Amino acid sequence: MNRPLLVVTISFTTGILLNAIWGFVPGVLILSALACIIAVLTGYFFAQWDNRWFFATLFILLGWFTAGVDGMQHPAGPERFAGHFIALDGLVTREPDVRKGYTGYVLAAEAVWLGDKRVPVKGLTLVRVYESKSITGFSYGDRLRVKGLLYQPEEPGNFGAFNYRAYLARRGIYCLMKVAQPDHVQCLGVGGNAAVRLALESKARLLQVASQTLGEKQTEVLAGLLFGNQSGIDQSVKDVFAQTGVSHVLSVSGLHMAYVVAGVLLLAGWLGLPRRAVPALTLVVLVFYTVMTGMGPAVIRSGIMAMLALMAVQLGRERDWPSALALAALVILLFEPSALYEIGFQLSFAATWGILYLMPLLNELLVGRWGWPRWFGLSLGVTIAAQLATLPLLVYYFNLVTPIAPLANLVLVPLVGMIMLLGFVGSVAGLVFLPAAMLINAGTGVLIDLFIGLAHLLSLLPGGSSYIAAPPWYAVTIWYVGLVGLVEIISGRVAPPPAIPLSKYLLNAQDRWNRLVPTGITILLMLIIIWPWGGTGGQLQVHFIDVGQGDSILVRFPGGRTMLVDAGGRLGDLDEGRGVGDAIVVPYLHRLGMDKLDVLVVTHPHGDHAGGVPPVLEKLRVGSLVLSGVPGYEELLELVEPLDVPVYRVGAGQSLQIDEAVEVTVLAPAGKTAESAAENLNNVSLVLRLDYGQVSFLLTADIEEEAQQALLGSGAELQSDILKVPHHGSRFFEPKFISAVEPDYAVIQVGKNNRFGHPAQDTLEALSSTDAKVLRNDRDGAVLFITDGRDITVQTAR
């Protein structure tokens, strides 16, 4: 084993993956491990065989066992009281997560109070205290008593959506508590680790100085750059950073550690410290900084590698980056095996591997062969290497490709060091003399504004970023195998196979190997990224997206065009529904590789249908907006006006010409729509019928009895294979309408535990009388119908 650490880490990681695939069987694992230990010892003492394979198997079993133990849920956890209003005693184990509207505390639960009865518990609980701006002084180490509703997070309701429940479970958190009032939080005392408390208090004081000397947006960005605090940063700023490929500057990693180490070395030189004292000082600073930044995988990885590099220099030993990277991964996974599945862990190690593995070849090409200036070639090589190594992960998790990233990193990353230096010096100076901080941070604020402004300008460049459908996991694997093969062949470390007969009449084997094979691999890698993994295959797809108590239906036509009917939201005005559009609808479209939308239909201007429309209009290129002829869209039209999106008003009898193979007909509203709208906007909702071959969909929005009766009397063809049940399955329906449609499938877009009692029992019974299969968002999650015009395939997210 030339690199035993690398073998050990790969084996340990394999064991973690096997636990996820086949589960945890402790007895079998322990017996197997004992057998491997005996085999290894026997081979060592008696030299009977090569024991390397037994050694690797032992660490596979160890990783498997460690992951299994880590994933075990504590039987006395507080989650067994989920669904009840309780009082909970616990210790704050992490830095509070301060957001707009609430503050999150992770409590190590100690006891649950049921009235006067104290029940000991053990486990972590995420407590969210709303209206939290009036709460001051609660931080790491505080022992709190909180009163609120304990609940467990739901499984994701949409295909490919972020699984928040699994995310929390990997951190040992199986329940949440909602605390509605700040006065329901009481401090009982102080505990925790004194060193951790000191680090977090120091950070809080530095950020307090920053908030006193910078604007709110500037302070939030500085907190992200210095310490990785992203919760307070405006979403629009995060979007700009993502679209330019510089989001990594907001996650503390190797870049930040490099600046910290450089600062320590400069300070040590300025103070004239002995050389032998520098590693110890650097270690103390790195550990302190790691605690301040939340001890995430990326910062731990970079900290371990930085210390190993310093020790290698100190001892005069050769630095071996594969072993250092393997050791960093092993340390993290030993203590937290579930970190392997974290996006931050994967991106951090992928980027570091890319820089260290790909840089020599890129440097040879850019500086050696093409003669570019060394400083420029190195800078460009680093960002290209990191982008190549992280590209499949970014596409897989975020569906985002950013060709602008190399340019953006070249322009923006140098500013990060200047902002961090000025921001830190200014904040430290402010602890002694606040006017000094004001003077220094005046320059810091200008640099932050310049950083955000340049990022925004770069994000506007045509083709700078685009969303594509997520590839399957095996395509990601092929990418990395192909990338390694490409580097090894170009570097000459992989020899060509023996020459085939007659090759001398064409090209010799070496030429074919050097020219054709790398070209073929490059084409394969490009195809993996641009291949339409999420295409419709020439079929009609209709997605009933789970937006809670609201409607949103995506239609993907056989020819590739798209139509979104409503975008969910909250009851009330448009502003109250933006969260649904930002958090659910737009990500759903992006996961399918959509950054444009041909048609956006808003059936009526109620918040649970139109509230999520603004983010869709802002974040996707919308070809046209289709509305009914009723009043009430004024606020939405004001938003659309500067976006230059064509607006069409339609009514009964008209058709939408979107795809030549699918007929989209407007069945309602008709007649005196303005008068009807004044009485009930639901009854003037746009009703659409889709016909593709022998399959038909009827999308009825929120129409109630009056509108349903009008449709019955209109002579329109109502019988359909799939019915979007009107008005979330409310009790205001016409039974004859359900009978006339006689659907095979009925979809109810409804939120779980909604306050309206939807769907009504009467509605469910009427649907049952037609023998329709009822599908509901609250129970089944998103519902997807795929049809070729004859057969229908149904998929549900749950």
Average pLDDT for 309-333? 80
Kindly compute the dihedral angle of the four CA atoms of residues 351, 354, 360, 365, in this order, to the nearest 10 degrees. -100
| pLDDT the model gives residue 27 | 74
Compute, in degrees rounded to 10, the torsion defined by CA atoms 345, 349, 350, 353. Answer: 180
Per-domain residue ranges for the chain? Answer: 4-70, 78-192, 199-341+414-465, 342-391, 473-530, 540-670+677-796
- What is 78-192's CATH topology? OB fold (Dihydrolipoamide Acetyltransferase, E2P) (2.40.50)
Better-scored residue on pLDDT, 416 or 302:
416
φ and ψ of 748, to 5 deg: -110, 115
Please state, rounded to an integer, the average pLDDT across all residues of the chain. Answer: 87
Summarize pLDDT for 3-29 with one digit per residue, the tens: 888 899 999 999 999 988 888 777 777
Q: What percent of the chain has pLDDT over 90?
A: 44
pLDDT digits (tens, 9 = 90+) for 212-234: 999 989 999 999 988 888 888 88
Cut 0.75: pTM above it: yes
**Residue 318 pLDDT:** 65
Contact, 48 vs 100, CB < 8 A?
no
AA identity, residue 281: L
Tell me what pLDDT residue 492 has: 73
Residues 435-481: tens digit of each pLDDT: 999 999 999 999 999 999 999 999 998 888 888 888 888 899 999 99
CA distances from 284 to 93, 198, 278, 302 (A): 22, 13, 10, 15
Question: Torsion angle of alpha carbons 528, 533, 539, 544, nearest 10°?
Answer: -170
pLDDT at 573: 59
Instruction: Give the chain's end-to-end CA distance (angstroms, integer).
Output: 46
Query: What is the topology classification, in CATH, of domain 540-670+677-796?
Result: Metallo-beta-lactamase; Chain A (3.60.15)
Alpha carbons 108 and 304: distance in angstroms, whole number = 28
More confident residue, 239 or 45: 239
Query: What digits encode the pLDDT tens for the residues 89-99?
Result: 999 999 888 88
- Residues 213, 216, 219, 220: what is their CA dihedral angle, to the nearest 10 degrees? 170
Q: How confident is the model at residue 736 (pLDDT cuts 50, 70, 90)?
A: very high
In this prediction, residue 691 carries a pLDDT of: 97
Q: How far is CA 244 from CA 163, 451, 461, in A?
A: 26, 12, 10
Q: Residue 317 — pLDDT band, cuts 50, 70, 90?
A: low
Lowest mean pLDDT among 255-269, 300-314, 654-668, 744-758: 300-314
What is the pLDDT averaged over residues 729-757? 91
Quickly state the pLDDT bin for 797 (edges 50, 70, 90): very high
Average pLDDT of 596-604? 95
Query: For position 430, what pLDDT does the model report?
Result: 92
- Using a 10 angstrom Cβ sphere, with 0-12 exposed, 13-18 middle and 19 or more buried, the burial of residue 644 is exposed
Q: Is the pLDDT of residue 625 over 90?
A: yes
> What is the per-residue pLDDT for 520?
74
Contacts of 127 (CB under 8 A, 6+ apart): 88, 90, 104, 105, 106, 107, 144, 146, 148, 176, 177, 179
Beta strands 745-748; 400-401: pairing state:
unpaired
Q: Of the given ranges (61-75, 695-709, 782-796), which has the lowest mean pLDDT?
A: 61-75
pLDDT per residue as tens digits for the range 683-716: 999 999 999 999 999 999 999 999 999 999 988 9
pLDDT at 510: 58
pLDDT tier, 596 (very low <50, low <70, confident <90, very high otherwise):
very high
What is the model's pLDDT at position 502?
Answer: 44
The model's pLDDT over 357-409, given as tens digits with 9 standing for 90+, comes to 998 888 888 887 787 888 888 888 888 999 999 999 999 999 989 999 989 99
Confidence (pLDDT) at 78:
92
Q: What are phi and psi of 795, to 5 degrees?
A: -130, 145
Least confident range of 301-315, 410-424, 492-506, 533-547: 492-506
Rounded-to-integer distance, Cα 747 and Cα 767, Å = 10
Strand duo 466-467 + 540-544: pairing: unpaired
Query: Does the pLDDT at position 639 exceed 90?
Result: no
How would you class 120 by CB atoms within 10 Å of its CB: exposed for 0-12, middle for 13-18, buried for 19 or more? Answer: exposed
- Between CA 597 and CA 699 the distance in angstroms is 19
Q: Looking at residue 499, what is its pLDDT? A: 53
Distances (CA, A) of 753 to 247, 369, 731, 733, 750: 37, 65, 16, 21, 9
* pLDDT surpasses 60 at 676: no
Place 726 in a pLDDT band, splitting at 50, 70 and 90.
very high
Report the pLDDT averaged over residues 146-170. 91
Q: pLDDT value at position 258?
A: 81
For 329, residues 6+ apart whose C-beta sits below 8 A from its C-beta are 9, 13, 301, 349
pLDDT of 134 reads 46
pLDDT at residue 718, as a whole number: 94
Please tell me the distance from the alpha carbon of residue 379 to that of residue 392, in angstroms, as a whole number. Answer: 22
> Could you tell me where the beta strands, DSSP code E, fall in 496-603?
540-544, 553-556, 562-565, 596-602
